[in-house]
Amino acid sequence: MILKANEENIKKASEIIKKGGLVAFPTETVYGLGANALNKDAVIKIFEIKERPLFDPLIVHIDDIKWLEKLTIEFSDVAKKLIEKFWPGPLTIVFRKSEIVPYITTGGLETVAIRMPKNEIALKLIRYSNVPIAAPSANKFGYLSPTNAQMVCEQFKDSIEIILDGGKTEFGIESTIVYIENEEVHILRIGAIEIEEIEKVLNKNVKISQKVKSPGQFKYHYSPITKLKTFKKLEEIKDEIKKYNKVVILTAKKEDINFEDVIYDYFSESGDYREIAKNLFEKLYFYDKIKADIIFAQLVEEKGIGRAIVDRLKKAENRHYGYQEQ
């Protein structure tokens, strides 16, 4: 059931969390499917409803850094710098977990991924629930992350008691995930916080790595059911589109398209990368529903948040075209 995210309904949702139930709610990145992170029985419901592998860890959302004292057994100076700059916000930090965090929440690992969302609805829900909330994206595993309440509702129908409607999310893609080892920062998932922003705060380079298991590391993910293929320039696909009857072409910015018999749209009229990211999953979801034969989606330059856009599109493409292990 979709409910407007007002004070009364946020409190209703918090009661469901307290009783071990599930609630979908907006964050600044995408909509999350939340449960009490410290309640094993509640957390396993997330895996069941999403059809998510049990070894894939969840992100724990908090409303106050005081929770870190209870949830973790380490706290480096580098982590403090990142928290001071980016929390609340779309940066997830992987810490060594304390005993109170159940292994079901961490995918069986000794580490726990934690962030403080920059969304008043999410923060109030956590505060009223008085527990940290484990929340992956509110979608079936491997499918497109939802950026509005309707996308959640259409995937889960009546399986979720309350879906708090806070409108369209601000960033449109998931948080950046980092792990800190010996004062070195490893990017485990590229996301809404740009690598350049992190490097500027730390005044040193960071590494893209998968040394520690974290959410969003699968080689194919964030994918529509419709076959998706990426391209850089329109000339690349002029012959291939003739192989299909119903074709969708999505460009980064508005273009004059001279292809016949195609459905055309763009992620951003001006080609603004932040706007592309914000619209990415919503556009793919819309055109997935029309049951085309294929969606051609244009890549952007891998700079700033463009890295995250390319990452999501490539992982969507990998579902249909296979991938090479790196």
Q: What is the per-residue pLDDT for 326? A: 27
Domain boundaries, the chain: 2-208, 228-319
> Does the fold of domain 228-319 match that of domain 2-208?
no
Ramachandran class of 129: left when φ > 0, alpha when ψ lies in -120 to 50, beta otherwise: alpha
Q: What is the per-residue pLDDT for 311? A: 94
Kind of pairing between the strands at 23-26 and 31-36: antiparallel
Q: What's the burial of 141, exposed, middle or buried (CB within 10 Å: 0-12/13-18/19+)?
A: middle
How much is the pTM? 0.94
Pick the CATH number of 2-208 from 3.30.230.10, 3.40.50.261, 3.90.660.10, 3.90.870.10: 3.90.870.10
228-319 falls under which CATH superfamily? Answer: Threonylcarbamoyl-AMP synthase, C-terminal domain (3.40.50.11030)
Q: What is the per-residue pLDDT for 222? A: 80
Sheet strand arrangement including 162-165: 2-4, 162-165, 23-26, 31-36, 133-134, 59-61, 111-115, 91-96, 176-181, 184-189, 207-208
Q: What is the per-residue pLDDT for 322? A: 57
Residue 34 carries which side chain, given as an amino acid letter? Answer: G
Q: What is the per-residue pLDDT for 220? A: 54
Bridge partners (DSSP) of residue 72 are: 97
Q: What is the per-residue pLDDT for 325? A: 34
Q: What is the per-residue pLDDT for 318? A: 86
Q: What is the per-residue pLDDT for 158? A: 85
Q: What is the per-residue pLDDT for 22? A: 98
Bridge partners (DSSP) of residue 187 are: 178, 208
Is the CB of residue 312 less than 8 Å from the CB of residue 222?
A: yes
Q: What is the per-residue pLDDT for 114? A: 99
Count of other CB atoms within 10 angstroms of residue 246: 13
Q: What is the per-residue pLDDT for 213? A: 57
Q: Return per-residue pLDDT of the chain as tens, 326 residues.
A: 999 999 999 999 999 999 999 999 999 999 999 999 999 999 999 999 999 999 999 999 999 999 999 999 988 999 999 999 999 999 999 999 999 999 999 999 999 999 999 999 999 999 999 999 999 999 999 999 999 999 999 999 889 999 999 999 999 999 999 999 989 999 999 999 999 999 999 999 998 986 655 554 555 568 899 999 999 999 999 999 999 999 999 999 999 998 989 999 999 999 999 999 999 999 999 999 999 999 999 999 999 999 999 999 999 998 776 543 32
